[in-house]
């Protein structure tokens, strides 16, 4: 089992999720001219474009078939610029994956903290997770499905980052007779991941918000009992009216 990450580790600042915008988004074109753009700004812009280009290319072609040249073409970035930022495709994938999961966790943590109590926080975090993945299907495909094809290092990183989701259960009420918190929470997080995986592999990513009542019940039942979990897991008419996440801006 992967070691727990430090829950005090700061999350990255909220930015767009990889795949939310086209890599060749015209608003990120680096204009030529007498006024030079600082090298660090150029590098950051190219990195973000490569994150988007990689996410969309991997979602379309699959990790194994995606070539560095394809990613560069989708991002509008040259191969030398790619290799100035990443050692290769594996390194770029891991950077994109880590960045995207950090953005998702940031959004979930914000929703959780704004809720009035722990059960409502779990529901709010799950609603954010499902809505965010539905808003950016390219990243959902990369993070949920294609990470399996990206090799042992990517799978180890997935297992490590999944343990970051344990933080949402730190305030769960203790129940006598339950398995240890580590085993129980690991099973809950794994079950949620497996359900999302099934929907994404079946090209049903847009339907993910409909899972909110069932996944809320599943997450809460061990701690609140069936009646308490059912009360918090009840469907709400607005559950499926998901606006694009803040990390998934609409491109007109």
Each residue of 122-132: pLDDT tens digit? 999 999 999 99
Nearest to 95 by CA among 48, 162, 151, 31: 48
pTM for this structure? 0.84
pLDDT digits 0-9 by tens, 91-113? 999 999 999 999 999 999 999 99
Name the fold adopted by 26-87.
Answer: Arc Repressor Mutant, subunit A (1.10.10)
208 with 193: CB under 8 angstroms?
Answer: no
The second-level CATH assignment, the architecture, of 91-233 is: Orthogonal Bundle (1.10)
Query: What residue ranges do the domains of the chain occupy?
Result: 26-87, 91-233
- Same CATH fold assignment for domains 26-87 and 91-233: no
Going by C-alpha positions, the residue among 109, 108, 100, 101 that lies closest to residue 128 is 108
Query: In the structure, what pLDDT confidence band is assigned to residue 8 with cuts at 50, 70 and 90?
Result: very low
Decide if 242 contacts 135 (C-beta within 8 A).
Answer: yes
């Amino acid at each position: 089992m992967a070691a727990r990450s430090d829950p005090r580790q700061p999350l990255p600042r909220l930015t767009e999720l990889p795949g939310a915008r086209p890599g060749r988004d015209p608003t990120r074109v680096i204009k030529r001219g007498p006024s030079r753009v600082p090298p660090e700004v150029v590098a950051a812009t190219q990195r973000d474009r490569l994150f988007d280009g990689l996410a969309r290319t991997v979602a379309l072609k699959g990790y194994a078939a995606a070539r560095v040249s394809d990613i560069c073409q989708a991002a509008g970035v040259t191969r030398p610029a790619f290799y100035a930022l990443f050692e290769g495709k594996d390194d770029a994938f891991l950077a994109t994956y880590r960045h995207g999961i950090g953005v998702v966790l940031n959004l979930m943590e914000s929703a959780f903290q704004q809720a009035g109590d722990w059960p409502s926080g779990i529901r709010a975090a799950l609603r954010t997770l499902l809505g965010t993945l539905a808003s950016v299907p390219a990243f959902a495909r990369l993070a949920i499905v294609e990470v399996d094809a990206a090799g042992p290092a990517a799978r180890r990183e997935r297992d490590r980052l999944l343990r970051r989701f344990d933080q949402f259960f730190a305030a769960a009420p203790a129940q006598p007779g339950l398995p240890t918190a580590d085993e129980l929470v690991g099973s809950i997080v794994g079950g949620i991941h497996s359900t999302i995986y099934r929907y994404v592999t079946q090209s049903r990513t847009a339907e993910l918000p409909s899972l909110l009542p069932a996944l809320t019940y599943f997450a809460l039942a061990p701690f609140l009992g069936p009646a308490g979990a059912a009360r918090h897991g009840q469907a709400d008419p607005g559950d499926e009216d998901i606006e694009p996440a803040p990390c998934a801006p609409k491109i007109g």
